[in-house]
């Protein structure tokens, strides 16, 4: 009879590194599936369809890179100890794609806030200057996630895994995640402020529509902010481990899903299909500096259409 199999002399606990990376990859794959199921832009403009296609391709590439890094170490070259101590280029490269997707999504919401505020509330030159400052400040804050990542990768790309645990790399990583959290929180609060302010003294139909939009905005903005905050906390708590990747790998698909969720809930926000009526909200435009105009118009289907220039501001 054959004797017992000899025991491996090298037994390593990879929970804090490739264990975390594996869990992060599973969650990222699930989140990618969720975002892919939400992709639908048949009724949107060509520009918006191109944007969704571009982001979906980047999101797909990000998920593939996340899986490829683990595949090499745990499957293709299983048992090669040297791989465990190197920064896999696939794992670092995915962050470049992720940063682009997050930046584009955040800039979309920043533009939405500015467009809504400019066409609805901003009247004086001082307010216009404040609007420009807001856009510049938020663009710099969101853009740091790309600029800082370039610096991060210059020092960490293709280097030993221990390089990511240096003070410089940890501080850069914290600043990147801090910028993401700050941007998400400011965007959510900015939208909440504008929507609650805009709902005052409005017609009941418009007020209900704005209340629904507040629910969607807060819910979607909270999800990305919570995930980014968890990543930030894990980096600060375990700077020498990769536990933060459990949630960090999913950020790309989560931000993409946030954008898709906001686009796909337009019918809910606008109250379409209720009691056979059609409610279009393509406006929320002031007729002059003091009053808003509500126009009721009969449709071919006998319903009532509330014409406002809301959609062009909230979904530019």
HEC per residue, 121-174: CCCCHHHHHHHHHHHHHHHHHHHHHHHHHHHHHHHHCCCEHHHHHCHHHHHHHH
pLDDT in tens, 22-81: 999 999 999 999 999 988 766 778 888 899 999 999 999 999 998 887 887 888 777 777
103-112, 200-209, 255-264, 268-277: segment of lowest average pLDDT: 268-277
Q: How confident is the model at residue 268 (pLDDT cuts 50, 70, 90)?
A: low
**Higher per-residue confidence, 301 vs 3:** 3
Q: In the prediction, which pLDDT does 79 show?
A: 74
Q: In the prediction, which pLDDT does 154 show?
A: 84
6-10, 63-67, 141-145: segment of lowest average pLDDT: 6-10
Residue 218, pLDDT > 70, answer: no
pTM comes to: 0.78
Task: Please state, in angstroms and rounded to a whole number, the distance separating the CA atoms of residues 179 and 246.
Answer: 19
pLDDT (mean) for 251-273: 78
Structure tokens at 315: 């979904």
Q: How confident is the model at residue 126 (pLDDT cuts 50, 70, 90)?
A: confident
Residue 269, pLDDT > 70, answer: no
Task: Please state, in angstroms and rounded to a whole number, the distance separating the CA atoms of residues 66 and 90.
Answer: 7
Closest CA to 161 of 16, 24, 28: 16
Q: In the prediction, which pLDDT does 293 show?
A: 33
8 A C-beta contact, residue 208 and residue 270? no
Residue 300, pLDDT > 60, answer: no
3-state secondary structure of 286: strand
**Higher per-residue confidence, 14 vs 217:** 14
**Higher per-residue confidence, 68 vs 162:** 68
Residue 282, pLDDT > 70, answer: no
């Amino acid at each position: 009879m054959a004797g017992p199999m000899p025991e491996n002399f090298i037994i390593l606990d990879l929970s804090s590194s490739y264990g975390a990376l594996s869990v992060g990859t599973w969650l990222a794959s699930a989140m990618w599936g969720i975002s892919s199921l939400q992709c639908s832009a048949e009724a949107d403009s060509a520009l918006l369809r191109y944007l969704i296609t571009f982001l979906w391709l980047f999101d797909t590439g990000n998920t593939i890179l996340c899986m490829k890094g683990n595949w090499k170490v745990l499957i293709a070259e299983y048992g090669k100890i040297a791989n465990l101590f190197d920064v896999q280029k696939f794992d670092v490269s995915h962050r470049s794609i992720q940063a682009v997707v997050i930046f584009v999504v955040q800039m979309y919401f920043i533009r939405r806030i500015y467009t809504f505020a400019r066409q609805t509330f901003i009247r004086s030159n001082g307010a216009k200057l404040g609007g420009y400052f807001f856009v510049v400040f938020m663009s710099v804050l969101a853009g740091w996630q790309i600029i800082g990542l370039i610096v991060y990768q210059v020092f960490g790309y293709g280097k030993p895994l221990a390089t990511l645990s240096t003070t410089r790399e940890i501080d850069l990583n914290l600043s990147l995640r801090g910028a993401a959290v700050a941007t998400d929180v400011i965007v959510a609060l900015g939208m909440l402020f504008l929507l609650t302010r805009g709902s005052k003294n409005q017609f009941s139909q418009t007020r209900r529509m704005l209340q629904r939009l507040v629910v969607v905005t807060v819910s979607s903005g909270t999800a990305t902010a919570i995930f980014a905050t968890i990543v930030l906390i894990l980096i600060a708590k375990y700077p020498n481990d990769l536990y933060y990747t459990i949630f960090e790998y999913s950020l790309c698909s989560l931000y993409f899903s946030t954008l898709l969720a906001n686009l796909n809930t337009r019918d809910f926000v606008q109250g379409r299909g209720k009691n056979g009526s059609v409610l279009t909200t393509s406006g929320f435009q002031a007729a002059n500096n003091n009053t808003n105009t509500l126009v009721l118009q009969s449709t071919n289907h006998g319903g009532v259409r509330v014409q406002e220039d809301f959609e062009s501001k909230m979904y530019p």
